């Protein structure tokens, strides 16, 4: 069977409220998780707030959903979930009210589903950053968010959590780190009346301000100690460029240390999430500062017209539905000033191509050691399919590709005279 012949996930199926017999299970999981981490939930302007409303949360780990379920008790929201979350459990996720979405696609069907949820008196729950934070700081919010708030015409509630990235960082998801206490703030940011009177731009401006967070700074200020012996393992996934010798793709981690194999410089990660050079100057003690320095170097490449991933050999898998991955075959991926181009040839000789031009992607989704399958990957989406693209036996960083996707989009917007406002894409 050819790739185009596989059945597609039914995105049009209307979301339902959580089945009554599944609610106790959700609440039990949420209770156990938040007790384990001694989660403190602060409520601001929430007096008398009941569904329907729009719930917007920051996204650092799967634990976000447990905190959300605890914060909104006794109500259960309808959560927007990426299609890979439905693999092997579509019935369960639909049963608890989840809504499927392919990442970084413009999907009017999703908007209609969210309207259905609030019309039925429910909680429409979205993680607008659309991915786990790479280093525990804010990712760009879509500029369409303000318009969505006005379209739904219900109160807007935010849930900003702290400590989830420190407990279970995206760059090393093999085990949690037992961080406690974690914190969260549930806040009514806009009443329904304010949503109606404010402009979409004014709503976006306040949302961007509300979504500012930095888990590593929070850890340091709160003196949250992480003493696990492998706390630095995986850091090279996000810190791929050496600030000492400027070499890319030669960073390696082991235990509590991060090393550049090109110049041999070593940094130690302290129990409070800071970096300290063993010898010489500590260029960046704060991990997000190192990450943002990498962004500036990518931005320079984009502006100079020199950014390119090069033509990378890749393996590609497709996810047309929730039944599982379909190996498409081997091919190549190029990411440059024109966007992504992936070509693949299957064992039966069938050829496939996916192109994602710069204007179509304000960001992209990446995975590190995804499901322990073929390594790091970029996943690219259409409304009917998702390709997981794994570079093979070559120098690359999917983190750099993700940063470059954003910087290419920002440059495109500047060129057409519609620059993105700070914090938006």
Q: Residues 351, 328: contact at Cβ < 8 Å? A: no
- Taking residue 131's Cβ as centre, other Cβ atoms within 10 Å add up to 19
**CA contacts within 13 A on the Cβ side of 401:** 32
- Taking residue 262's Cβ as centre, other Cβ atoms within 10 Å add up to 15
41-75, pLDDT tens digit by residue? 999 999 999 999 999 999 999 999 999 999 999 99
Whether 21 is covered by a domain: the verdict is yes
**Starting from the edge strand earliest in sequence, which strands make up the sheet with 326-336, in order?**
351-356, 339-345, 326-336, 312-318, 386-391, 377-381, 365-367
Contacts of 74 (CB under 8 A, 6+ apart): 27
Tell me: do 270 and 208 sit in the same domain.
no
Cα 149 to Cα 138, 189, 423: the distances in Å are: 20, 11, 17
Tell me: do 208 and 349 sit in the same domain.
no
Tell me: do 79 and 183 sit in the same domain.
yes
pLDDT at 153 (0 to 100)? 97
Q: Which two tokens stand for residue 366?
A: 């990446």
CA distance 352 to 363: 23
Residue 148 sits at φ, ψ, to 5 deg, of -65, -45
- Mode of pairing for the β-strands spanning 312-318 and 326-336: antiparallel
Q: Give the total number of structural domains in the chain.
A: 3
Tell me: do 158 and 203 sit in the same domain.
yes
pLDDT at 374 (0 to 100)? 83
Domain final residue pick, 167, 191, 221 = 221
Tell me: do 72 and 138 sit in the same domain.
yes
Burial of 276 (0-12, 13-18, 19+ CB in 10 A): exposed
Q: Which two tokens stand for residue 69?
A: 């379920």
Whether 226 is covered by a domain: the verdict is no
Tell me: do 166 and 276 sit in the same domain.
no
- Within 167-245, strands assigned E span 183-190
Whether 425 is covered by a domain: the verdict is no
361-409, pLDDT tens digit by residue? 999 999 999 887 789 999 999 999 999 999 999 999 999 999 999 999 9
pLDDT at 3 (0 to 100)? 60
CATH number of the domain encompassing residue 403: 2.30.29
Q: Residues 383, 102: contact at Cβ < 8 Å? A: yes
Residue range of the domain that includes 66: 3-221
Domain final residue pick, 272, 304, 336 = 304
Positive or negative, the Cα torsion across 308, 314, 319, 324?
negative
CA distance 79 to 84: 14
Tell me: do 70 and 168 sit in the same domain.
yes
Whether 229 is covered by a domain: the verdict is no
Q: Which two tokens stand for residue 95?
A: 């049963």
β-pair partners for 404: none
Can you list the residues of the chain whose pLDDT is less than 70?
1-5
Tell me: do 83 and 134 sit in the same domain.
yes
Tell me: do 273 and 374 sit in the same domain.
no
Whether 148 is covered by a domain: the verdict is yes
Domain final residue pick, 197, 221, 245 = 221
Report pTM: 0.94
pLDDT at 4 (0 to 100)? 61
Q: Residues 30, 70: contact at Cβ < 8 Å? A: yes
- Taking residue 168's Cβ as centre, other Cβ atoms within 10 Å add up to 21
Cα 16 to Cα 22, 65, 94, 119, 183: the distances in Å are: 13, 18, 7, 12, 30
């Amino acid at each position: 069977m050819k790739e185009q012949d596989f059945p597609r996930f039914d995105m049009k199926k209307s979301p339902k409220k959580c089945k009554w017999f599944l609610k106790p299970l959700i609440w039990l999981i949420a209770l156990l998780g938040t007790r384990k981490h001694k989660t403190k939930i602060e409520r601001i302007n929430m007096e008398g707030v009941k569904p329907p409303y729009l719930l917007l949360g920051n996204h650092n780990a799967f634990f976000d959903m447990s905190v959300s379920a605890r914060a909104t008790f006794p109500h259960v929201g309808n959560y927007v979930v990426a299609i890979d979350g439905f693999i092997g459990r579509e019935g369960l996720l639909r049963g608890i009210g989840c809504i499927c979405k392919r990442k970084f696609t413009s999907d009017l069907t999703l908007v209609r589903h969210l309207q259905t949820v609030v019309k039925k008196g429910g909680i429409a729950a979205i993680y607008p950053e659309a991915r786990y934070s790479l280093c525990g700081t804010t990712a760009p919010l879509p500029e369409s968010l303000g318009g969505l708030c006005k379209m739904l015409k219900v109160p807007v509630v935010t849930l900003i959590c702290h400590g989830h990235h420190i407990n279970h960082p995206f760059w090393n998801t093999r085990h949690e780190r037992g961080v406690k206490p974690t914190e969260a703030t549930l806040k009514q940011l806009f009443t329904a009346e304010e949503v109606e009177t404010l402009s979409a731009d004014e709503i976006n401006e306040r949302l961007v301000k509300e979504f500012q967070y930095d888990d590593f700074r929070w850890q340091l200020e709160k003196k949250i100690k992480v003493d696990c012996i492998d706390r630095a393992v995986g850091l090279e996934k996000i810190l791929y460029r050496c600030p000492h010798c400027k070499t890319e793709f030669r960073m390696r981690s082991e235990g509590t240390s991060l090393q550049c194999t090109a110049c041999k410089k070593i940094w130690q990660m302290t129990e409070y999430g800071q970096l300290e050079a063993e010898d010489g100057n500590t260029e960046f003690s704060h991990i997000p500062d190192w990450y943002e320095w990498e962004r500036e170097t990518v931005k320079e490449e984009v502006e100079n017209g020199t950014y390119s991933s090069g033509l990378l050999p890749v393996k590609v898998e497709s996810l047309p539905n929730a039944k599982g991955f379909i190996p498409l075959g081997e091919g190549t991926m190029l990411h440059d000033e024109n966007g992504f181009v992936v070509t693949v040839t299957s064992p039966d000789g069938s050829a496939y191509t996916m192109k994602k031009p710069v204007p179509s992607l304000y960001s992209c989704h990446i995975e590190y050691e995804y499901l322990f399958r073929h390594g790091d990957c970029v996943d690219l989406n259409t409304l009917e399919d998702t390709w997981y693209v794994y570079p093979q036996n070559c120098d690359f960083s999917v983190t750099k590709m993700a940063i470059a996707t954003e910087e290419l989009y920002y440059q495109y917007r500047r060129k057409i005279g519609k620059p993105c406002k700070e914090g938006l894409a």
